[in-house]
């Protein structure tokens, strides 16, 4: 004979032509009984707080070595460097990347409103620092168009041309030497503060912040930034000098009147040559020993008498910090986001891991230390990173080789690149933005896959275009968070059905072959139920599962009709209670939040008329299953909602259906 604690459901059901028997045999457990049966206790071997403190204060040679290597990764991988296997690839890759660093550094520096030579500095010092502290093998740090553009908005805002107008013999003019000196001070202070933010965020293990920036947001932001950069370069391609303007709607403040034919022809020729040679490099990358350094060859068309030498380090002016704190934080997030996105892409492809927090510290130190050597903000470059990866890069030694070549170029032949036609530099910028312009194809992809992500992409793109980089980023992040909130507050509710021949239960409204099991309703929510969505869960359950069961939910089950303290189960205006459920009443014991104590204390239930009773006669549902697999946490509202659902079904069905399980 079966124990009294076990229940069995023996009637057979006919499901899709096949007779199946459902038998449930287990003890119905409440939380207290579950803790007793499962022997709840602290069975883990996790050390106590005092033991963890002692362990953290304990010092040993091996622990010191692990700590130092974790903070300075170069001490771990460099002693184990395999020269024969890796050096050839690293050397070729380093030479190829260096050939791009020089022209890109000088082309991107004007985006930051700085003289080109500071782009060379930024392509040398931060790269060396990054090699020491990074865990990524394939990304190329240095100047980047988007970051340069963001830095340029700050330098032009705090040091506009009109602040440096002087009177001369031929009228007023801009004192470019004083202006550039002020902008260099601002750019270095911005890099220092950005690096401080990144180091602090890395130390407090805040690398996960990048998870809140979705991929559509990042790609839309970089695409819009590329459009901003391209817009600023149009004046050089066409040889015009429009008035400078920065701020919201700056994208439309471009005048292309008075185009100079010579500059336009030079730009078109440069664009054609760059595009053709880059296509050759891509098509024949397996046959070419190194890519043709067209970006390095094309600009060498005149010689200057200027002498290049490194400047003595200096301390950036911290008095600018209050004016640039918001811009510095935005740059800290954007540059790190670009870095970690590229790092994880290559790490996944080649099967190694990168440390989010260590990468944050690495780029922070590159910005901080570089700021003392006249460097502005850095980030990884898509184009250089792809070249570095495709030309045989094996380890971070590629960055060291690239820096050595940059040192030779700056000191020995840097004078060749002191004065370059801006049309050629702008052409280099345009061609290197091609990869980001290709991200416009995301619109079609997202239209096919996720309309919500498409909306995030479009809003981010439009806000960045119209509101500038800093305000646009803030608006995009705010909108992205709103979509997350709305999606969690407005989940999708559906009934699951069994797909014939499988064990799969799918949405019956989406999959035609998914069929409900007769008499059983399986109800599922696409998101966690919590205090915000609990009422919507109840409403959806009423509409989807069995509207008849909840007919009295709002009209009959009010506080006035169920005054606390009534415990009688039979009266002149009451129906009969199904005592067959008396054995399971422990599962309905409620806390002080509700007035119900058990099924034995069911409150007064009004007598229904024949018309209302007819509403329930057509219902053949005897079991309701609530699929809670999407629930990641449970709050008080969730518990009370489940209690309310259980009690409503039980009370109603005890009077009307008499055969409902939950």
pLDDT tens digits, one per residue of 623-652: 888 888 888 888 888 888 888 877 766 665
CA–CA separation, 384 and 390 (whole Å): 10
| Torsion of Cα atoms, 12 then 15 then 19 then 24, to 10° | -40
Q: List the beta strands (DSSP E) in 370-529.
A: 379-380, 493-498, 505-507, 520-525
Q: Which residues contact 8 (CB under 8 A, 6 or more apart)?
A: 2, 23, 24, 25
CA distances for 255 relative to 45, 113, 155, 235, 462, angstroms:
70, 19, 22, 8, 21
In contact, 597 and 646? CB cutoff 8 Å? no
CA–CA separation, 201 and 574 (whole Å): 65
CA–CA separation, 142 and 122 (whole Å): 6
Beta bridge partners of 507: 496
DSSP annotation of 174 reads E
pLDDT tens digits, one per residue of 465-487: 888 777 888 888 889 888 888 87
Residue range 547-567: mean pLDDT, rounded: 47
pLDDT tens digits, one per residue of 306-345: 445 677 888 999 999 999 999 999 899 888 888 888 888 8
The pLDDT assigned to 376 comes to: 94
Structure confidence at residue 585 as a pLDDT band (50, 70, 90): very low
CA–CA separation, 151 and 141 (whole Å): 16
Structure confidence at residue 298 as a pLDDT band (50, 70, 90): low
The pLDDT assigned to 560 comes to: 43
The pLDDT assigned to 430 comes to: 78
In contact, 379 and 136? CB cutoff 8 Å? no
As given in the structure block, the two tokens for residue 235 are 């004046």
Q: List the beta strands (DSSP E) in 39-175.
A: 141-142, 165-168, 171-174
CA distances for 378 relative to 127, 263, 546, angstroms:
9, 30, 60
- Global model pTM greater than 0.95: no
Q: What percent of the chain has pLDDT over 70?
A: 74
Rounded to the nearest 5°, which phi and psi values hold at 27?
A: -75, 135
In contact, 385 and 130? CB cutoff 8 Å? no
A 10 A CB-CB count for 519 gives 16
Residue range 581-607: mean pLDDT, rounded: 40
Rama region for 575: left / alpha / beta (φ>0; ψ in -120 to 50; rest): beta
pLDDT higher than threshold 90 for residue 586: no
CA–CA separation, 22 and 11 (whole Å): 8
The pLDDT assigned to 273 comes to: 82
pLDDT tens digits, one per residue of 183-198: 999 999 999 999 999 9
The pLDDT assigned to 18 comes to: 58
pLDDT higher than threshold 90 for residue 578: no
Identity of the highest mean pLDDT range in 48-62, 184-198, 274-288, 347-361: 184-198
CA distances for 126 relative to 110, 131, 315, 401, angstroms:
19, 9, 16, 14
pLDDT higher than threshold 50 for residue 657: no
Burial grade of 632 (CB within 10 A; 0-12, 13-18, 19 or more):
exposed
A 10 A CB-CB count for 522 gives 19
Taking CA 187 as the corner, what is the angle to CA 108 and CA 179, rounded to the nearest 5 degrees?
90
Nearest in space to 474 (alpha carbons), one of 484, 461, 466, 463:
463
pLDDT higher than threshold 60 for residue 223: yes
The pLDDT assigned to 591 comes to: 41
In contact, 404 and 151? CB cutoff 8 Å? no
In contact, 380 and 338? CB cutoff 8 Å? yes
As given in the structure block, the two tokens for residue 523 are 């109800």
A 10 A CB-CB count for 247 gives 13
In contact, 656 and 648? CB cutoff 8 Å? no
Taking CA 386 as the corner, what is the angle to CA 109 and CA 454, rounded to the nearest 5 degrees?
85
Please state the length of the chain. 662
Q: What percent of the chain has pLDDT over 90?
A: 18
CA distances for 310 relative to 119, 194, 299, 307, 559, angstroms:
13, 23, 22, 10, 82
Structure confidence at residue 612 as a pLDDT band (50, 70, 90): very low
A 10 A CB-CB count for 219 gives 19
The pLDDT assigned to 584 comes to: 40
Residue range 239-258: mean pLDDT, rounded: 54
Structure confidence at residue 459 as a pLDDT band (50, 70, 90): very high
CA distances for 469 relative to 160, 214, 404, angstroms:
18, 17, 34
pLDDT tens digits, one per residue of 413-453: 655 555 566 677 777 777 777 877 888 888 999 999 888 89
CA–CA separation, 633 and 51 (whole Å): 30
Which residue ranges make up each domain of the chain? 74-166+173-299+307-487, 491-550+617-661
Topology (CATH level 3) of domain 491-550+617-661: Transcription Regulator spoIIAA (3.30.750)
Residue range 495-504: mean pLDDT, rounded: 88
Question: What integer best gives the mean pLDDT of the chain?
Answer: 76
As given in the structure block, the two tokens for residue 329 are 């934080």
């Amino acid at each position: 004979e079966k124990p009294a604690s076990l229940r069995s459901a023996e009637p057979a059901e006919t499901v899709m032509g096949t007779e199946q028997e459902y038998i449930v045999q287990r003890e119905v457990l409440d939380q207290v009984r579950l803790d007793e049966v499962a022997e709840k206790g602290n069975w883990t071997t996790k050390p106590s707080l005092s033991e963890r403190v002692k362990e953290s204060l304990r010092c040993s040679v091996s622990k010191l070595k692990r700590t130092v290597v974790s903070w300075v990764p170069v001490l771990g991988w460099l002693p184990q460097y395999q020269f024969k296997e890796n050096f050839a690839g690293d050397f070729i890759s380093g030479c190829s990347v260096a050939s791009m660093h020089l022209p890109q550094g000088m082309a991107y520096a004007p985006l930051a409103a700085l003289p080109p030579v500071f782009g060379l500095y930024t392509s040398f010092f931060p790269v060396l620092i990054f090699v020491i502290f990074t865990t990524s093998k394939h990304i190329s740090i240095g100047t980047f168009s988007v970051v340069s553009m963001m830095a340029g908005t700050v330098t032009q805002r705090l040091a506009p041309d009109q602040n440096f107008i002087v009177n001369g013999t031929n009228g007023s003019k801009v004192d470019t030497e004083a202006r550039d000196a002020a902008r260099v001070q601002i750019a270095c202070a911005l890099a220092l503060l950005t690096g401080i933010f990144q180091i602090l965020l890395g130390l407090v293990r805040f690398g996960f912040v990048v998870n809140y920036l979705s991929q559509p947001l990042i790609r839309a932001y970089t695409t819009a930034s590329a459009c901003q950069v391209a817009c600023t370069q149009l004046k050089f391609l066409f040889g015009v000098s429009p008035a400078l303007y920065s701020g919201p709607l700056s994208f439309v403040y471009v005048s292309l009147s008075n185009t100079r034919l010579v500059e336009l022809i030079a730009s078109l020729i440069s664009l054609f040559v760059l595009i053709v040679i880059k296509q050759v490099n891509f098509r024949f990358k397996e046959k070419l020993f190194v890519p043709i350094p067209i970006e390095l060859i094309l600009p060498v068309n005149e010689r200057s008498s200027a002498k290049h030498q490194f400047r003595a380090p200096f301390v950036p002016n911290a008095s600018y910090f209050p004016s640039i704190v918001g811009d510095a934080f935005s740059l800290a997030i954007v540059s790190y986001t670009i870095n970690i996105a590229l790092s994880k892409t290559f790490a996944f492809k080649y099967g190694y891991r990168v440390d989010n927090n260590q990468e944050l510290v690495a780029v922070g130190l590159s910005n901080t230390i570089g700021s003392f050597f006249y460097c502005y903000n850095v980030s990884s470059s898509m184009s250089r990173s792809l070249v570095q990866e495709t030309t045989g890069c094996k380890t971070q030694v590629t960055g060291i080789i690239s820096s050595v070549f940059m040192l030779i170029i700056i000191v020995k032949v840097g004078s060749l690149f002191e004065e370059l036609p801006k049309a050629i530099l702008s052409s280099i910028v345009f061609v290197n933005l091609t990869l980001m312009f290709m991200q416009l194809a995301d619109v079609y992809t997202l239209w096919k896959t996720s309309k919500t992500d498409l909306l995030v992409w479009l809003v981010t793109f439009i806000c960045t275009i119209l509101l500038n980089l800093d305000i646009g980023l803030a608006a995009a992040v705010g909108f992205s968070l709103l979509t997350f909130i709305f999606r969690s507050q407005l989940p999708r509710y559906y009934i699951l059905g069994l797909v014939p021949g499988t064990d799969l239960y799918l949405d019956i409204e989406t999959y035609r072959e998914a069929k409900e099991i007769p008499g059983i309703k399986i109800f599922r929510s696409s998101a966690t139920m919590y205090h915000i969505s609990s009422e919507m869960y109840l409403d959806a359950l009423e509409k989807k599962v069995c509207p008849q069961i909840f007919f009295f939910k709002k009209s009959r089950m009010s506080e006035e009709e169920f005054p606390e303290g009534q415990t009688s189960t039979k009266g002149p205006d009451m129906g009969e209670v199904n005592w067959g459920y008396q054995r399971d009443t422990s599962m309905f014991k409620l806390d002080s939040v509700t007035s119900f104590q058990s099924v034995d204390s069911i409150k007064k239930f009004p007598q229904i008329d024949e018309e209302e009773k007819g509403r329930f006669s057509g219902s053949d549902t005897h079991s309701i299953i609530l699929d809670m697999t999407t629930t990641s946490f449970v709050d008080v509202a969730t518990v009370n909602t489940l209690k309310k659902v259980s009690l409503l079904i039980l009370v109603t069905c005890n009077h009307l259906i008499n055969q409902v399980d939950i």
